[in-house]
């Protein structure tokens, strides 16, 4: 399947769910989608089109939170990134971990570092941060404040 | 009915060289469930990278991992070049390939040595690490460092390869081939090794796809995916080489695959050194435009993925690092369940896990890859069984 075919297929099947396309280069494609359509589009891309899930990357954009789900079609050398925009106050999106195991850890990571709630994730325990890390303190948010006053930090002196 | 027992390993366990907490649930000798708790050395490199310039960032990410220290800067510069869309000079592309392949050989040999050690084959361990020493010498001649080569910068490489060094390096590389051949034969023909690793810890092709496993782990399960072939970067499309794929997904296939891959890497390394073109080594990037870029390269353990977003200043707004072990380590769950506890070690080792990368944490001792020694674990397991026996008054 070629890139144009993938583009046409996506456009045809999900025309109500896709917000925009950004064809950055022959090897990169960014697709803005509605958050509620994430699971069905990802399932289609992963299971039906046979793409590989690279990773997701969450970004705090100050006004909103953005997640990019990167998929790669290895045969035709194309990386498709699905972009969803979530509200910053209650970032919530359906989990992909049930659809494919590869999304399990990264959703746990985004949950603790950015405070995104993944509905339906089987196991949203902390992955990287310690157990005593307080809820509501998210290190990758731009307004993150150091909470542990007792921690020994290297101040570079 | 046998009773389930939980065997906690870590986080700070004398047999582990990096802190990681494993909870094995066993029934008798058989592992029925496993849970991994990572994060004991989380350093927050992604956050730190937001405060560094693109030039400084290459040095920062180089320190994510001590074994595959070139793969992270490589992916980062690919991502930055993806943002700006520039072509780098041909000579720089070749030099990048040479450094990356040298690193792959040393990483695979290091792993081979450790695998031998786990299985009680300390001769393999000694031989493999002796060969690795030659490769480290080669890297020292080429880059000035045995590790953390500091060769990469957005737009090219920092240091040129001197033409008078090339014959010396080629001779050194040629000198390791006979010994590596011997090791390959020893692995392929040894009946004890077969008994220990064949059919152990199988990762099926379907599971490999479901977990999106990468690199040698996926290729040993018959998934022929290699970023170097699928998405050629640097000089990988300019030299002749093959993807190595083995079909069974067990520990033996992973073992053999890495040895065969080391041969392919030697081939690429020699071809690049012989055909090294003349010219500039740096495209001289002045400004990084705003935008987002993805860098994907094949590290020794699989695809290394960097996502960088720039707002037009000299620092990234967001820098996401995804190391291959982050995708490969969860496959442990699929491979180790149902196996005996004494095989758990080698199955985990077969993934070639690198916790440093997974957590973007502190550089450890270069041996910081394996968890515990197989024999000790067997002992641990036997003691545990003994304890349970005593507890329940069974014979």
* B-chain residues near A106 (CB < 8 A): 322, 326
For range B134-153, the mean pLDDT: 93
Query: How far from A56 is each of A72, A103, B307, B326, CA to CA, in Å?
Result: 12, 8, 10, 12
Query: Which of B218, B320, B330, B337 has the most A C-beta neighbours within 10 Å, making it the best mutation to test the interface with A?
Result: B320
Band (pLDDT 50/70/90 cuts) for residue B274 is very high
Q: What is the pLDDT of residue B364?
A: 29
Inform me whether the C-beta atom of residue B282 falls under 8 Å from chain A C-beta atoms. Answer: no
* pLDDT per position as a tens digit, A107-123: 999 999 999 999 999 98
What CATH number is attached to the domain comprising B332? 1.10.645.10
Classify B3 in phi/psi space as left (phi over 0), alpha (psi -120 to 50) or beta. beta
CA dist B376 and B314 (Å) reads 50
Contacts of A102 in chain B (CB under 8 A): 210-212, 327, 330
Positive or negative: CA dihedral A44, A49, A54, A60 = negative
Highest mean pLDDT among A7-11, A142-146, B380-384: A7-11
Comparing alpha-carbon positions, the chain B residue that sits nearest to A123 is B35
pLDDT of residue B393: 52
Output the pLDDT for position A155.
61
Q: Residue B288: which domain range?
A: 4-392
Please report the pLDDT score of residue B122 as a whole number: 81
pLDDT band per the 50, 70, 90 thresholds, residue B368: very low
- pLDDT one-digit tens code per residue, A66-115: 999 999 999 999 999 999 999 999 999 999 999 999 999 999 999 999 99
Question: Which chain A residue's Cα is nearest to B218?
Answer: A52
pLDDT of residue B14: 54
* pLDDT at residue B103, as a whole number: 94
Give the chain B residue nearest A50 (alpha carbons): B209
* Mean per-residue pLDDT of chain B: 85
pLDDT tops 90 at residue B394: no
User: CB distance from B42 to chain A under 8 Å?
Assistant: yes
% of chain B at pLDDT higher than 90: 54
| Alpha-carbon torsion, ordered A81, A61, A15, A45, to 10 deg | 20
CB-based burial, A118-146: b 16+ in 10 Å, e otherwise: beebeebebbbbeeebeeeebbbbeeeee
Phi, psi of B360 (to 5 degrees): 50, 55
Give the pLDDT confidence score for residue B361 in this predicted structure.
Answer: 32
Query: Using an 8 Å Cβ cutoff, are B112 and B183 in contact?
Result: yes
- Tokens 């970032």 label which residue? A91
Kind of pairing between the strands at A28-33 and A78-87: parallel
Residue B378 pLDDT? 44
Say whether residue B294 is in contact with chain A using an 8 A CB cutoff: yes
Quote the pLDDT of residue A156.
Answer: 57
pLDDT beyond 60 at B27: yes
Per CB-CB distance under 8 Å, the chain B contacts of A130 are: 39
Shortest distance, CA A61 to any CA of chain B (angstroms): 9
In this predicted structure, the answer to whether residue B389 has a pLDDT above a threshold of 60 is no
Buried b / exposed e over A14-40, threshold 16 CB at 10 Å, is: beebbeeeeebeeebbbbbbebebbbe
Structural domain count of chain B: 1
Domains in chain A, CATH or no CATH each: 3-93 (3.30.460.80)
**Residue B359 contacts A where some CB pair is shorter than 8 Å:** yes
Mean pLDDT within A17-44: 93
Question: What was the ipTM of the complex prediction?
Answer: 0.93
Chain A residues with CB under 8 Å of B209 CB are 52
The answer to whether B326 faces chain A, any CB pair under 8 Å, is: yes
Question: In the prediction, which pLDDT does B197 show?
Answer: 85
* Whether the predicted pLDDT of B382 surpasses 90: no
| Residue B29 in this model has a pLDDT that exceeds 90 | no
pLDDT > 70: what percent of chain B?
A: 87
Question: Which of chain A's residues have a Cβ under 8 Å away from the Cβ of B303?
Answer: 54
pLDDT digits (tens, 9 = 90+) for B100-132: 999 999 999 988 888 887 777 788 889 999 999
Is pLDDT at B288 greater than 70 in this prediction?
Answer: yes
Interface test with B, best of A72, A76, A78 (most B CBs within 10 A): A72
pLDDT digits (tens, 9 = 90+) for B238-256: 999 999 999 999 989 999 9
The pLDDT assigned to B215 comes to: 92
pLDDT at B385 over 70: no
pLDDT at residue B363, rounded to an integer: 27
Report the mean per-residue pLDDT for chain A: 90
| CA–CA min distance A129, chain B (Å) | 6
Cα–Cα distances in angstroms (integers) from residue B166 to residues A156, B36, B319, in the given order = 42, 45, 36
3-state class of B227 per DSSP? helix
Q: State how far Cα B332 lies from the chain centre.
A: 15
**pLDDT greater than 70 at residue B306:** yes
CB contact under 8 A, B307 and A57: yes
* A68 to B307: CB separation less than 8 angstroms, yes or no: yes
pLDDT of residue B13: 63
Query: Is it the case that residue B204 has pLDDT exceeding 70?
Result: yes
**CB-nearest partner of B322 from A27, A54, A128:** A54
Q: Residue B237 pLDDT > 90, yes or no?
A: yes
Q: What would the mean pLDDT of B163-190 be, rounded to a whole number? A: 92
- The pLDDT, as a whole number, for residue B365 is 26
Is B212 within 8 Å of A52 when comparing Cβ atoms? yes
């Amino acid at each position: 399947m070629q890139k144009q075919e993938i583009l046409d297929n996506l456009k045809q099947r999900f025309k109500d769910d896709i917000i925009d396309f950004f064809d950055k280069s022959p090897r990169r494609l960014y697709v803005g989608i509605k958050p509620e359509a994430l699971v069905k589009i990802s399932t289609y891309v992963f299971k039906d089109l046979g793409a590989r899930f690279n990773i997701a990357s969450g970004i705090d954009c100050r006004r909103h939170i953005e997640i990019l789900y990167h998929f790669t079609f290895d045969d035709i050398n194309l990386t498709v990134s699905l972009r969803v925009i979530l509200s910053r106050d209650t970032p919530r999106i359906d989990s992909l971990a049930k659809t494919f195991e590869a999304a399990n850890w990264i959703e746990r990571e985004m949950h603790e570092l950015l405070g995104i709630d993944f509905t339906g994730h089987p196991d949203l325990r902390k992955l990287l941060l310690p157990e005593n890390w307080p809820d509501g303190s998210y290190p990758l948010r731009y307004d993150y404040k150091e909470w542990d006053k007792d921690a020994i930090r290297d101040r570079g002196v | 009915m046998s009773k389930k027992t939980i065997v906690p390993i870590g986080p700070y366990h004398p047999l582990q060289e990096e802190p990681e907490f494993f909870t094995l649930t066993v029934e008798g000798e058989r592992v029925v469930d496993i849970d991994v708790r990572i994060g004991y050395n989380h350093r927050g490199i992604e956050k730190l990278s937001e405060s560094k310039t693109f030039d400084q960032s290459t040095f920062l990410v180089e320190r994510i991992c001590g074994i595959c220290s070139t793969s992270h800067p490589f992916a980062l510069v690919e991502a930055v070049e993806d943002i700006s869309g520039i072509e780098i000079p041909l000579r720089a592309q070749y030099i990048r390939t040479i450094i990356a392949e040298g690193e792959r050989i040393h990483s695979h040999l290091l792993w081979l040595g450790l695998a031998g050690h786990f299985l009680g084959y300390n001769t393999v361990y000694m031989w493999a690490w002796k060969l690795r020493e030659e490769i480290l010498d080669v890297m020292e001649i080429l880059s000035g460092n045995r590790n953390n080569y500091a060769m990469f910068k957005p737009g090219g490489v920092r240091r040129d390869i001197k033409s008078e060094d090339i014959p010396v390096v080629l001779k050194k590389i040629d000198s390791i081939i006979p010994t590596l051949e011997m090791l390959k034969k020893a692995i392929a023909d040894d009946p004890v090794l077969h008994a220990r690793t064949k059919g152990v810890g199988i990762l099926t092709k379907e599971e490999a796809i479901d977990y999106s496993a990468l690199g040698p782990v996926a290729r040993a399960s018959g998934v022929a995916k290699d970023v170097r072939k699928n998405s050629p970067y640097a000089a990988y499309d300019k030299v002749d080489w093959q993807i190595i794929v083995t079909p069974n997904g067990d520990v033996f296939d992973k073992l053999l695959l890495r040895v065969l891959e080391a041969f392919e890497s030697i081939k690429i390394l020699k071809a690049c050194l012989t055909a090294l073109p003349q010219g500039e080594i740096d495209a001289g990037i002045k400004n990084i435009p705003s935008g987002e870029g993805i860098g994907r390269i094949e590290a020794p353990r699989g695809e290394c993925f960097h996502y960088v977003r720039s707002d037009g200043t000299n620092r990234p707004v967001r820098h996401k690092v995804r190391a291959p072990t982050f995708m490969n380590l969860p496959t442990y769950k699929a491979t180790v369940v149902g196996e005996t506890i004494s095989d758990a070690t080698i199955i985990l080792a077969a993934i070639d896990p690198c916790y440093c990368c997974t957590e973007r944490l502190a550089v450890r001792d270069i041996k910081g890859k394996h968890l515990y020694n197989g024999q000790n674990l067997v002992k641990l397991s036997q003691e545990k069984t003994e304890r349970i026996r005593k507890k329940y008054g069974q014979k």
